[in-house]
Amino acid sequence: LHILSTGTHDKVFMRRVAKNFPKKLLGLPWKIDYRIRVPMATDLEIRAGSGPITLSGVEGAITLTATESETQMTLTSGTVNATVASGRINVRIPTRSWRGTGADLRIAAGDLNVELPAGFHGDIDADVLRTGQISDMFSALESRQRPGITNRVVRARAGGGGAYFRFTVGDGTIRIRKLVMSNP
């Protein structure tokens, strides 16, 4: 499945494909919303411009890039690589053991919020590259190498270790906290 979205801002595309598009509509604001359901064991590549992204229930190789986004992800396994230029990434990992190699989540400017369950197992590296800080509210992380756990760098292990998680923020905050399970 390959979906290409373009807008009236793409003049070359409009001249080539939509020659009879009403000129009065060219300057108006527009938006496109997609809701796509895929099988659980699916590899995904998502390239987005500006807008919210919600991803859950997928256990394959996931690559996500976005220019500006409020990204919500609920992840349980696989190999995840996500890069967002600006905005916020909220990640929930509801399982204690991750099946797969792990996740590499990066945001140039904004916040990265990570929620982990009690009893979580994994190796975590987190870095703030320029300005900002890391807030460790999980309290189950143990230093595994130097510099350990500081307000700008985390090299830690949760539980017995396991899959590798890398969280990077250029300018912003990384918050690692305990997942609070809600009752249905």
The tokens for 93 are 């990992």
Distance CA 74, CA 96 (A): 13
> Does residue 23 fall inside a structural domain?
no
pLDDT over 90, % of the chain: 71
> Does residue 183 fall inside a structural domain?
no
Span 27-69, pLDDT tens digits: 777 777 888 889 999 999 999 888 899 999 999 999 999 999 9
> Does residue 171 fall inside a structural domain?
yes
| In contact, 126 and 176? CB cutoff 8 Å | yes
Q: How many domains does the chain have?
A: 1
Mean pLDDT of the chain: 89
> Does residue 16 fall inside a structural domain?
no
> Does residue 6 fall inside a structural domain?
no
Does the pLDDT at position 172 exceed 80?
yes
**What are the residues whose beta carbons fall under 8 Å from the beta carbon of 21, sequence distance 6 or more?**
8, 14
Q: Which domain holds residue 46?
A: 38-178
> Does residue 77 fall inside a structural domain?
yes
> Does residue 10 fall inside a structural domain?
no
